[in-house]
Amino acid sequence: MAQPFTHNNKTGLTRDLIEAIFPMFEQASAGAIAVDSDCRITWINNSYAALLGVDNPEAVIGQPIQPVIPQTRMPEVVKSGKPLLLDIMEYQNQQLVVTRLPYFDEGGKVIGAVAFVLYDDLQPLTPLVSKYRRLHQDLVAARKALAKKARGTRYSLADFVGASPAALEVKRRARLAGGRDMPVLLLGETGTGKEVLAQAIHSVSARSEKPFVGVNVAAIPDNLLEAEFFGVAPGAYTGADRRMREGKFQHADGGTLFLDEVGDMPLPLQAKLLRALQEGEIEPLGSNKVVTVDVRVIAATSRNLEAMIADGSFRSDLYYRLNVLEIPIPPLRSRLADLGVLSEALLEKIGEGLELRGEITDAGIAALGSYDWPGNIRELQNVLERALTMGEESGVLDADAIFKVLPRTGNRLVPSLTPQPVRPLAQTLAEAEAQAIEEALVASRGNRTRAAKLLGISRSVLYEKLARLS
C-alpha cells in the first residue's frame, strides 16, 4: 500500500499515494488537473476541460497552466510545497471551490501538484457560507462589546444631569475639554460625579474609539502603584511573572487614562508620572527599556492640591502639568435647583434595577433640599433607593417618605451667619408657625386632616390658624 513520505520531519504525499487516491477524488469532484514541477499540465480530465471551455483536452497537455487558467494558484503550491485545501477561484463568470495538493518524490522534493474542483456552483454552499458569515459577524460584535465593556465608557455628557447655572458651566467646560487634547483636572468633593464627567469627556473626544482606563490611586497600596502604572519587566523581582506585565499606561495607549484621587499619590511616583506626561515615555519596573506611550490624562481629586503644594506633599510642577484645563464640580448643596431633575433620573435608574416605578412629589424634593448632602449625588441615590424600597407600593415619595430615610447624623442646611436685625419674638414665632403650616399642606398635598396630623394639632385648631393667616 502506498505510504506518505517523511523527510526532515515533514510529511507529504508521494506520487504513488496521489495515484491511489486520485480515482476517488476525481469521481467526487467536478474536475481535476495535474501539473509537474515546472507547472506544466500533465493531465486534465474531461470534466475540467469542459468547465474551462477546452474542446480538446490533449491540446493543453505540456502547456504552462497559467495561460490556460490565469487565476490558478498551482505555482504557489509547487513552490511552497504546502497544500491549499479550500479556495474559491474566479474563472470567467464562474466561482469554483478548489483543493490543491503538492506531491513529492522519495527525497521530499516537490515534483508536481494536483487540483480538484469540489464545487463548480456555490449555490449548494449558500446556507453554510451564510451561517459562517453570521457567526463571524456575531463574533466580531461580541469582541467589540467585550472590548468596550473592558476598556470603554458607560457614561456620556447626558449622564451628568443638571440645568442649574453651575451644572451648565461644568458641561460647557467638559465639551471644551472634549475638543482639545490636553490634560484635565477635575476638582470636587466625593460623590459629585468626577468619573462620570471623565468618561463623558473621553466619549466626545477624538480618542473615543480608543481605551478609557480608570485607576483609583487611593485604592492601591503605595508599594504597588509603580507596577500598576508602568508595568513590570519579566523577572523584575522574586516571584514576578516571567512574561512582561503591562501597566495602566500601556493599556490606555492611544486613549485616556483617568487618575482618580491623584492627590493621594506618593511623592516618588509623582516624579515618574511627570516624566511620563512630559516625554510620553515610561520605564517598566525592573527594565532599562523605555516604552513610548500616547496617553491623554484626566486627573481628579477631592483634596486641596494648592494647600498640599504649600506643605510639600504634592509637586507644584506636576500640578501645573495636570491643571491645563480645570473643571471645578460644585457640591450638591450648591446646586439644589437640580434636585428635581437629578431625583427623576436617579429614580429611573433605581427602578430598572429593582423593577419598581418611582416618583417624587414637590414636597419630597423640598424635603431633600433641607439636607446638606455631604456625600453629594452618591448619597442622594442611596437615600432615594432606601426611600423607594421602604416606601409604599405606589412608589410615590413624599416628604414623609424622604424624612424617614434622611441620615440623622448629617447637617441640615443652616441660614447665613451674616448678622440679621433682631425681630420681636411674637413675629418670629408667627412666621415660623405660618411656614410650618405651609410645609405641612405641601407635604399632605392639601389634605388638611393629614396636615393637622403632621403638625400634631387637631383639625379645628388648624382651621383657626388658617383663618387668622387669611
CATH number for position 184:
3.40.50.300
Question: What is the model's pLDDT at position 242?
Answer: 61
The boundaries of the domain holding residue 449 are: 425-469
Q: Where are the beta strands (DSSP E) in 51-92?
A: 84-91
Residues 457 and 391 in one domain: no
Give one DSSP letter per residue of 88-130, joined into a string: EEEETTEEEEEEEEEEE-TTS-EEEEEEEEEES-SGGGHHHHH
pLDDT band at 459 (very low <50, low <70, confident <90, very high): confident
Contacts of 136 (CB under 8 A, 6+ apart): none
Domain CATH for 98: 3.30.450.20
Tell me the average pLDDT across 251-280.
93
138 within some domain: no
CA 388 → CA 96, 293, 355, 443, distances in Å? 66, 47, 11, 17
pLDDT tens digit sequence for 216-256: 999 999 888 888 999 888 765 555 556 678 899 999 999 99
Does 297 share its domain with 172?
A: yes
Query: 464 and 371, same structural domain?
Result: no
The CATH number of whichever domain residue 443 belongs to comes to: 1.10.10
Do residues 189 and 312 both lie within one domain?
yes
The CA-based angle 415-420-421, given to 5 degrees, is: 145
Q: 397, 384 in Cβ contact below 8 A?
A: yes
Is 133 within a domain? Answer: no
In a domain, 147, yes or no: no
Q: Quick: pLDDT tens for 275-327.
A: 999 999 998 887 888 889 999 999 999 999 999 999 999 999 999 999 999 99
Clarify whether residues 257 and 164 are in a common domain: yes
137 falls within a domain: no
The answer to whether residue 415 sits within a structural domain is: no
Q: How confident is the model over 56-93, as pLDDT tens digits? A: 888 899 999 998 888 899 999 999 888 888 787 877 77
Residue 136 lies in a domain: no
Specify whether 84 is located in the same domain as 114: yes
Domain membership flag for residue 141? no
| Residue 379 sits in the same domain as residue 454 | no
Lowest mean pLDDT among 37-51, 137-151, 320-334, 387-401: 137-151
Are residue 311 and residue 450 in the same domain, yes or no? no
Q: Which residues pair with 119 in a beta bridge?
A: 97
Choosing from 311, 330, 349, the residue where a domain stops is: 330
Residue 201 neighbours by CB under 8 Å, 6+ apart = 174, 177, 178, 184, 256, 298
Angle (CA) 365-367-368 rounded to 5° is: 65
Comparing C-alpha atoms, which of 299, 372, 307 is closest to residue 334? Answer: 372
pLDDT at 145 over 80: no
Confidence of residue 156 (pLDDT cuts 50, 70, 90): confident
For the segment 334-366, what is each residue's pLDDT rounded down to a tens digit?
Answer: 999 999 999 999 998 888 766 777 889 988 999
**Domain assignment of residue 410, yes or no:** no
Domain at 365, CATH number = 1.10.8.60
